[in-house]
C-alpha cells in the first residue's frame, strides 16, 4: 500500500482540477470479458458508454453513445500479438449524430523489465459513418506495474499509464492529430476480476485548434 493511497488521492485531485478547468468532461464506464478460445487465440467482448458530466461549465449527466466491442487476438511470439476488432457505436439515438461501425487492426508487443511492463501498440482503424469514412492510425506506449510487491497478487493494486498519438484522415477534410494521456489505478479482486479507475486527457485537433477533453474512466475487467 506504499503508493496506492497517494496515487488515488493524486488522481482524485487531478480529476477534480481537470474537470473544473474543462469545457467538456466525460464519464466512460466499461465492462469487459476476456477468455481463451485456444492456446494462441483469445476473445475480448466489452460494452462501454460515454456520458457527458460537464458541458459548457455546467454539470450534467447525459448519454453521448454506447459501444459494443469485440477483439480477436492471436499470440504470435514472445509478448507479441495481432488483433482484429470490430466496434458498433450507437450514437444517433442519443445525440442525433451518425452511428459508427469501426474496424480495427492491431499489433502489440509487450516486454517486462524487472517490475515494470512496457507495451507498444499500433492500430489502424476504419471508422465508417453514414456519410463518410475516416481512416485513423494510432501508436500507444503503455507501462503497467504492481504497487504492492514485484508480482500482482489477489487483493493488490496496480498502476497503468499510457501516451497515445492518433491521426485521422478523411476525404475532403484536413488530417487531424490528437494526443491522449491516460493514468489508471486498478485492483485485482480475484484471479478473474479487476477494477480500474482513471483519467484520460486528450489534446484533440492539436494541429488545428486544440481542444482539451477529460475523461473519467471506470472499468470492470473479467478474464475467464
- In the complex with another protein, the residue whose CB is nearer, 134 or 142, is 142
- In the complex with another protein, the residue whose CB is nearer, 64 or 123, is 123
- In the complex with another protein, the residue whose CB is nearer, 137 or 141, is 141
- In the complex with another protein, the residue whose CB is nearer, 149 or 175, is 149
- Least distance (Å) from another protein to the CB of residue 39? 5
- Least distance (Å) from another protein to the CB of residue 89? 15
Please give the Cα distance from 72 to 85 (Å, whole number).
6
- Least distance (Å) from another protein to the CB of residue 4? 11
Residue 139 contacts by C-beta under 8 Å, 6 or more apart in sequence? 120, 121, 122, 123, 164, 165
- Least distance (Å) from another protein to the CB of residue 47? 12
Q: Which residues bind another protein (CB under 8 A)?
A: 2, 32, 34, 39-40, 42, 44, 46, 69, 71, 73, 75, 77-79, 81, 83, 85, 108, 110, 112, 117, 119, 121, 142, 144, 148-156, 160, 186, 189-194, 196, 219, 221-223
- Least distance (Å) from another protein to the CB of residue 34? 4
- In the complex with another protein, the residue whose CB is nearer, 19 or 65, is 65
- Least distance (Å) from another protein to the CB of residue 173? 27
- In the complex with another protein, the residue whose CB is nearer, 49 or 81, is 81
Amino acid at each position: 500500500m506504499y503508493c496506492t493511497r497517494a496515487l488515488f488521492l493524486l488522481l482524485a485531485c487531478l480529476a477534480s482540477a481537470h474537470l473544473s478547468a474543462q469545457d467538456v468532461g466525460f464519464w466512460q464506464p466499461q465492462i469487459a470479458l476476456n477468455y481463451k478460445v485456444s492456446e494462441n487465440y483469445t476473445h475480448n467482448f466489452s460494452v462501454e458508454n460515454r456520458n457527458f458530466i460537464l458541458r459548457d461549465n455546467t454539470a450534467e449527466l447525459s448519454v453521448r453513445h454506447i459501444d459494443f466491442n469485440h477483439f480477436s487476438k492471436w499470440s504470435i511470439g514472445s509478448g507479441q500479438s495481432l488483433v482484429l476488432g470490430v466496434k458498433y457505436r450507437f450514437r444517433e439515438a442519443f445525440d442525433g449524430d451518425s452511428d459508427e461501425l469501426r474496424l480495427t487492426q492491431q499489433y502489440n508487443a509487450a516486454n517486462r523489465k524487472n517490475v515494470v511492463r512496457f507495451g507498444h501498440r499500433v492500430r489502424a482503424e476504419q471508422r465508417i459513418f453514414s456519410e463518410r469514412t475516416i481512416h485513423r492510425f494510432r501508436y500507444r506506449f503503455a507501462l503497467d506495474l504492481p504497487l504492492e510487491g514485484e508480482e500482482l497478487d489477489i487483493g493488490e493494486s496496480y498502476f497503468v499509464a499510457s501516451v497515445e498519438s492518433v491521426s485521422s484522415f478523411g476525404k475532403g477534410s484536413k488530417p487531424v492529430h490528437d494526443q491522449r494521456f491516460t493514468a489508471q489505478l486498478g485492483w485485482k479482486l480475484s484471479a478473474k476480476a479487476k477494477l480500474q479507475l482513471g483519467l484520460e486527457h486528450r489534446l484533440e485537433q492539436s494541429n488545428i485548434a486544440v481542444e482539451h477533453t477529460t475523461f473519467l474512466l471506470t472499468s470492470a475487467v473479467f478474464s475467464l
